[in-house]
Amino acid sequence: MKSEFFEKYPQLDPAKMPAHIAIIMDGNGRWAKKRLFNRVLGHEQGVKVVVDTVRACHDMGISVLTLYAFSTENWQRPQLEVTALMFLLKKFLKSQLPDMMENHIRLNAIGEIERLPDDVRNLLYDTMKITENHREMLLNLALSYGGRTEIVRMAQQIARKAQNGEIRPEDITEETVANHLYTQGMPDPDMIIRTSGEMRISNFLLWQMAYSEIFITPTLWPDFSTDELVNIVIDYQHRERRFGKV
């Protein structure tokens, strides 16, 4: 948490910060189309916003930031676009390492990491290893991620344990389920932000978002700014969270 950040945004209450922010970064393609650019240029601009967002969340003292960077469905995009996204991801990991070191940011990936190309996967694992002891913020990249696939994988793992006699079905609790998801050990997202106005969850963090506050902004991801992020957090700080109680 940086005091300069809170001086710049006096309406932001440091005592009411969310622990975990998750973002569905949507609208790169539309941003590019509006300018008659190739879609890839939209993703390139999107990465710049990712860099600013990571920095802002770190400075605000957010413990976990999860970014939906690539869904299981995104594999069906044109090969050229998939390749470009993988290239941008590698470039991002390489260029951000100094920042992750300086700001003690730990990198983690959630999703079917084994499906990523070898070079991307190796760089990802290396970066995760180098940053594993960092404790200021966890940057969680959802890559080849799908909420339903995550739930299926959890069910398979627990069923296997039951079959081996390691767990009895009647002992399976919500905690058991949470401990077999990619997000084990992390707090559930307090807020989910989706850019570009679509009113959809798109298979993101299905189990984890049970009580998340949802914010949908019409802004396309490449136009999303730190000012807007802060305004959304201020809005969050004024919401009353009841978790199903009165």
Q: Where in the sequence numbering do the catalytic residues fall?
A: 26, 74
Could you tell me how many residues of this chain bind ligand FPP (CB under 6 A)? 20
The only residue of 82, 86, 88, 97 in contact with ligand FPP, by rule CB under 6 A:
88
Binding flags for ligand FPP, 15-34, as an x/- string (CB under 6 A):
----------xxxxxx----
Task: Decide whether 158 or 205 has the Cβ nearer to ligand FPP.
Answer: 205
Separation between Cα atoms, residue 149 and residue 129, nearest integer Å: 25
Q: Where are the alpha helices (DSSP H) in the chain?
A: 3-8, 28-34, 39-60, 79-102, 118-130, 147-163, 174-178, 226-237
The only residue of 17, 21, 40, 50 in contact with ligand FPP, by rule CB under 6 A:
50
> Taking a C-beta distance cutoff of 8 angstroms, is the pair 85, 41 a contact?
no
Structure tokens at 134: 């960092």
Q: In what order do the strands lie in the sheet with 105-110?
A: 105-110, 137-145, 64-71, 20-24, 191-194, 213-216
Site for ligand FPP in 90-119 (CB under 6 A): 92
Site for ligand FPP in 184-213 (CB under 6 A): 196
Q: Does 138 bind ligand FPP (CB under 6 A)?
A: no
The only residue of 17, 60, 62, 69 in contact with ligand FPP, by rule CB under 6 A:
69
Separation between Cα atoms, residue 93 and residue 208, nearest integer Å: 26
Separation between Cα atoms, residue 155 and residue 132, nearest integer Å: 27
CB of 212 to ligand FPP, least distance (A): 20
Q: Does 89 bind ligand FPP (CB under 6 A)?
A: yes
Task: Decide whether 109 or 232 has the Cβ nearer to ligand FPP.
Answer: 109
